[in-house]
Chains A and B, each alone.
Chain A
Amino acid sequence: MLKVQDINVYYGSIHAIKDVSFEVQSGEIVTLIGANGAGKSTVLQTISGLLRSKTGSIHFLDQDLSNVPPHKIVAQGLAHVPEGRRIFLQMTVEDNLSMGAFTRPGSEVDASIADVYERFPRLMERRKQIAGTLSGGEQQMLAMGRALMSRPHLLMLDEPSMGLSPILVQQIFDIIKELHKAGTTILLVEQNAQMALSVADRAYVLESGRIVLSGTGAELAKSDAIKKAYLGG
């Protein structure tokens, strides 16, 4: 479904992503783990077109995304929940959701909003509230609900557990599993390697901009190198 080949991404003279290649098959949960600063967010931003690779290619559903502007990528079925959520803090919950459906025909928006409220009843309760007044967990739900409004084939999540209490982290991961069961393919970026590996079909480990290890979620969870570096022994 998604095939990333040999991408190299720079911030000015900083070489942030080095020859990274990986793929996500339809129906999988794939996770990209790695320490802070490894380049995980950069990879996702490059896939959604906010950053550009100097080399290689990114194919999504057999289409080359290299020259597609970011605002046209979401319409192809690729949604990105960015790091730090980045919901529109001054807009209402419902307006945030309607922005998620920006590229879809107006007649379909209400039905999608109803779907999101069904999955996230908390958002329904707070629909008229300004998004900036939501708690961290609610903001994460809003960010995910907003991304789902585009009815994506592939959902990219950048550190959905960041800053949340263990109970909320569990809730968010339950939702990820539900979405996956409902047929959404997921590319999950996490620092919380343990949680990520527990839900992932396959995983890639990123270190200083390079992929240094890959395998199934279960394999990597058992690997000594991973245990040492990311799972606290």
Chain B
Amino acid sequence: MLSFLNHLINGISLGSIYAIIALGYTMVYGIAKMLNFAHGDIIMVGAYVCFFAVSSFQLHPVVGLLLAIIVCTVLGTLIEKLAYKPLRQATSLAVLITAIGVSYFLQNAAQLLWTSNPKLFPDIFNGAAIKLFDGELIITVSTLVTIAACIVIMILLTAFIDKSKTGKAMRACSEDKGAAQLMGINVNRTISITFAIGSALAAVAGVLLCTTYPSLVPTTGSMPGIKAFTAAVFGGIGSVPGALLGGILLGIIEIMAGAYISTSLSNAIVFAVLILVLLIKPTGLLGKQIREKV
């Protein structure tokens, strides 16, 4: 029973990371109608920035996190401006291929700059943990911080999108860019802001990911990126609550499958569940039926 609870907490923690990454996918998809496959690699860049700040320059982890957020925000908006913006009128296939190209570019650049030797991410929380039931149930501080970060991010982001002028403009652009322009909304700027927010969240996710899985390599972001993308589709791409639900469920399924069925099959099971959900509800758990424009 306690081990089940343990797996559940670990699943929620992993799922929280997926959810934070999935937010980036889903927001960018919602507004730019594109899959930013390079999103996972922004995570990796954020993790490296924090790694060097803390390990090489002995900066406080919070400073490391802030630096990671700044670098990723700049990087994300730069990628949008240089790689995606010129393709605004292009077919979605061209954009997808470009995004995959950007993803490989980031991975190769990281390999060149930092080699593919794994870096051991510093143990920011010194392995601190809460022990319950005579040590039968151990919850690490990193797990708690990850879950708390996810909750705080969800609350702030939802309030921002619902209430702020920029958030409303983002919703308007995601529904109808032409009508949004007629309101005086600068669509390009709004898309840039969305990439900036998604990339900042990717930095947070990168640091959280490495506090739990400390081996850092240039491909660190790619598998979590794909999983988070799956989570976004699972929850309903374009939907912010969907990203949360999809992320958490995916994390739980992955950990449970690994614990009770087979570690080597856990990924396969995750994708099998995704396919099943999409067969029953093609728009994902919380996805809205998209009205096709004529």
Contact = CB atoms under 8 A, between A and B. Distances in A.
Interface residues of chain B: helix, strand, loop or mixed (majority): helix
B181 A71 contact: yes
B217 interface: no
A88 B179 contact: yes
B172 A50 contact: no
7 contacts: A71-B185, A82-B182, A88-B172, A88-B179, A89-B291, A91-B168, A95-B168
B184 A102 contact: yes
Contacts of B180: 99
A79 B187 CA distance: 17
Given A91-B175, A95-B171, A98-B168, 11 more contacts: A49-B181, A50-B181, A71-B186, A71-B187, A74-B182, A80-B182, A87-B179, A98-B165, A103-B183, A103-B184, A146-B183
Which of A69, A88, A91 lies at the interface centre, i.e. has the most chain B CB atoms within 10 A of its CB? A88
Contacts of B182: 48, 50, 70, 74, 79-80, 82, 86
Contact of A74 (B175, B176, B184): B184
Interface residues of B, number: 19
Interface of B: 165, 168-169, 171-172, 175-176, 178-187, 288, 291
A170 B204 CA distance: 57
Contacts of B187: 71
Contact of A75 (B165, B169, B176, B184): B184
B124 to A, nearest CB: 40
B119 to A, nearest CB: 44
B178 A99 contact: no
Given A72-B184, A75-B184, A89 B175 contact: yes
